[in-house]
Amino acid sequence: MAPSTELPLVTLLPRAWIGFGKAPWRCVGLANVLLLSAIGPALLGEDLRRLGLTWLGDLAVVASLVLPLLPLLALLKLADQLLPPESRPEPPIRWSWLLRQATGLVLFELLLVLGGLALIQTLSWAAGRLSTTLAGVVVVSGGLLMLCWMFSQVLALPLLVHHRLRALQAMDHSRQLVRHNGLKMLALLGLLSGINLLGLIGASLGLLLSLPFSALVLMACCRTQTPCSSVSRRNILPT
């Protein structure tokens, strides 16, 4: 990715709104499936635990973490199709390849997070034998580094879907894109967090609208623009 690319922050929301208007019921339907796949197995697992079937309950909870990946990919793929195409459209994508790469991406990210937490715990324990203040500094600095890494990976999955990247390529692409647009991404994440918090109102029914809109905004972030280019300026206008 060229370092001169930037996010068209001004036109992200108009583009997302226009894309949502093309297929609102399909977006709402996929958001409904996403929520059901995440909440349904978790509630079932809690009921199974109360009945004494602890291992089945734990299995259902794990399923609630894995099953949402498929409807999430479907929602991102639909959002990518609803947004205006780029000048060079990407080739068709196979579901088997997409699911395999997305699963690998999630596993890589999870292993890095768990490894980072284990490293912070080990270093803080070792530093605590010398000074509790030093241990606190290790925990705080390690936590900040972990948050920065997680922040840099916000666009990894959308980039994987849009550019047909492999897992490690998507992680690196997201890191570079967020690094060159840190303040914009911070403002955008704050906006999306506020929208989804509002979606929790009314028995969380608002999430049926806020989740597809958030997916459209994130997929629009994958369409970066090059500054000082007349073609790019024309392309960022809502169509």
pLDDT digits (tens, 9 = 90+) for 57-83: 888 888 888 889 999 999 999 999 898
91 or 208, greater pLDDT: 208
Of the candidates 150, 159, 142, which has an alpha carbon nearest to the alpha carbon of residue 90? 159
| Mean pLDDT for the stretch of residues 162-183 | 89
Total-model pTM: 0.83
What range does the domain containing 144 cover? 10-225
Q: Specify if 5 maps to a domain.
A: no
Q: How far is CA 188 from the centre of its chain?
A: 13
Report how many domains make up the chain. 1
Cα–Cα distances in Å, from 150 out to 33, 146, 174, 198? 26, 6, 10, 23
> Is 215 a domain residue?
yes
Q: Is residue 232 part of a domain?
A: no
Q: Give residue for tokens 């989804």.
A: 196
Q: Flag whether 230 is in a domain.
A: no
Q: What is the Cα–Cα distance from 100 to 223, expressed in whole angstroms?
A: 23
**195 within domain boundaries:** yes
Establish if 180 belongs to a structural domain.
Answer: yes
Q: Is the pLDDT of residue 227 over 80?
A: no
Taking a C-beta distance cutoff of 8 angstroms, is the pair 192, 214 a contact?
Answer: yes
Q: DSSP readout, 6-67?
A: B--HHHHHHHHHHHHHHSHHHHHHHHHHHHHHHHHHHHHHHHHHHTT-HHHHHHHHHHHHHT
User: Which amino acid is it at 121?
Assistant: Q
Q: List the structure tokens of 220.
A: 């629009």
Whether 1 is in a domain gets the answer no
129 falls within a domain: yes
